[in-house]
Amino acid sequence: MADVTPILSTSGLKRHFGGLKAVDGVDFSLAEGEIRAIIGPNGAGKTTFVSLLSGRTSVTEGSIRFRGQDITRVPAFQRVRLGIAYTFQITNIYPKLSVAENIRIAALGRTQRGETVSIESEVRAMLEAVGLADRAAHRAGEMAYGHQRLLEVAMGLALKPSVLILDEPTQGLSDSEIDGFCRLVKDISRSATVLLIEHNMDVVMRLADRITVMNRGLKLAEGTPSEIRDNAEVQAAYLGTGA
């Protein structure tokens, strides 16, 4: 890992919705520079957990720290400015605008962190990075779902985050697009820490330095891909189901 000091961590993190314990006391530590995958069956609490990290869902109990700073009550837009970018499980784009305009909006939002940028060159670079250069002028909402997901990743990249959270990024992608996405994540990891929720276990095993397994709002296990593959509890709760 690039640094043993956690860039992002939680302590006793909980989010309850009435009697539903979506996240129920999770201690989590993300090392700077790593690619971490979060896996688990549907309803395990994965998306709620990353929504807590990004500030899009409020915390019931516990704390979140980013670069040593307590951000538990910091609103989502301020976390973006600090350097935490979250792409949604459901595409969050401006469907009536062009692909390039979507990325431009994201890049312009980052300038609020006081950076001087060449917006147009960055837009072109992001389009090239995710393989959408030939669709720059297309209306975003008229593209195939998989291409919309890639656009969302490009918008996240345009924020130049320290931590990029990807929620089901390969959903809707073809096999060749998944190969390209894996290469892209490896490139991203040279300058940012990557946290991804992913059901495609081939992708997880190819990309992740470490894997966190969640089940019923709890952290079930954590380790390297080989450790997780051989973990009997994980096999019973998730991998053995064929999910």
pLDDT digits (tens, 9 = 90+) for 90-112: 568 999 999 999 999 988 876 65
Percent of the chain at pLDDT > 70 equals 92
How far apart (Å, rounded) are the C-alpha atoms in residues 76 and 74? Answer: 7
- pLDDT reported for residue 235: 86
User: What average pLDDT does this structure show over 205-233?
Assistant: 95
Q: Quick one: tokens of 104? A: 């431009």
User: Which is nearest to 125 in space by CA: 146, 142, 145, 100?
Assistant: 100
Helix, coil or strand: residue 9: strand
Q: Quick one: tokens of 82? A: 């600090």
Q: Amino acid identity, residue 73?
A: R
User: Which domains are assigned to the chain?
Assistant: 1-83+163-169+192-243 (3.40.50.300)
pLDDT tens digits, 21-60: 999 999 999 999 999 999 999 999 999 999 999 999 999 9
How far apart (Å, rounded) are the C-alpha atoms in residues 197 and 52? Answer: 14
How far apart (Å, rounded) are the C-alpha atoms in residues 196 and 46? Answer: 10
Q: Amino acid identity, residue 65?
A: R
Confidence check: pLDDT of 171 > 90: no
Place of tokens 């670079």: 125
Confidence check: pLDDT of 241 > 50: no
The answer to whether 111 and 117 are in contact (CB under 8 A) is yes
- pLDDT reported for residue 109: 73
